Structure 1
Amino acid sequence: MVKDAIQDAVLEWYDKYYNVKPLLSKKKPQLTLDTSLSTGKYPWARETGDDILNDYFKRFNVESSAFDLLLYWPYEKGFLPNVLRPLSQKVPEISPKPLTVRMLVESAKAGRWIFK
């Protein structure tokens, strides 16, 4: 695939399958290279992010061994607050890194996940 064709293909794939109209919204969000799947106004849940990335790695033949889902969707505290947990089960407060469409495009061009 030509490099610009890869960008177009990734944008088209994400827009068609995952850039959906949020509930109670009149239109779907504007898709740009800086659209983040893990942060911002419309972040995906970890399970959905995992499904999206698995589809992406297969569809665009991107080698995924360097990809770490927890950088973009870290563990959350959940219902039980840390103050009530034993020390061994405390969940650290970690902000997710943005995982953008641009990162998907650049990794698809490289044929492997290139971000840490």
Structure 2
Amino acid sequence: MVTDESVLLFFREELSTLATWSFKKIPLELDTILQEYALDTTEFIEAIEKYDEVFGVDVSAINWDCYYPWEMEWFFRSWFTKKPLVQTKKPLTVKMFAESARAGKWLYD
């Protein structure tokens, strides 16, 4: 049976771990927004393809237009404005992939 932890472990193994400026590791969690965590697009695409193979979820059913392009906040943005960045796309999380793996198909869009 597929669990949240098994999918989380899968993505932790497949994606590089991010770190802060002081080299403190930022762990990948169930509710982490993958568009912001997986900065290497090639690595993320390969992880999604492997997810398809490992968990048997047809990733071709994912409508990527719902999730990309993702607006990344500019490092110095807070110096110029206090307005929050407004996202027009939905976030992708590990939890979404875990729920889809349990269902055997992509559940979102």
Q: 1:46 to 1:15 in 2, by over 3 A?
A: closer
TM-score normalized with structure 1 length: 0.64
1:13 alignment partner AA: F
3-state SS in 1 of match to 2:19: coil
- Answering whether residue 37 of structure 2 is matched by residue 49 of structure 1, we say no
Match of 2:53? Answer: 58
Choose 1 or 2 for highest CA Rg: 1
Deviations 1:10-63 (A, max 9, x none): 111111221513374523213321011114xx3535433322211211111112
Match of 1:8? Answer: 5
CA distance in 2, matches of 1:37, 1:75: 10
Match of 1:22? Answer: 19
Q: 1:59 to 1:27 in 2, by over 3 A?
A: farther
CA distance in 2, matches of 1:64, 1:17: 16
CA distance in 2, matches of 1:33, 1:57: 18
Percent of aligned pairs with the same amino acid: 34
- 5+ long unaligned stretches in structure 1: 77-93
CA distance in 1, matches of 2:59, 2:97: 11
- Answering whether residue 102 of structure 2 is matched by residue 105 of structure 1, we say no
TM-score normalized with structure 2 length: 0.68
How many residues matched?
94
Q: Is the 8 A contact 1:22 1:28 kept in 2?
A: yes
Q: How does 1:66-105 map to 2 (within 5 A)?
A: 66-74=61-69, 95-105=88-98
1:32 alignment partner AA: E
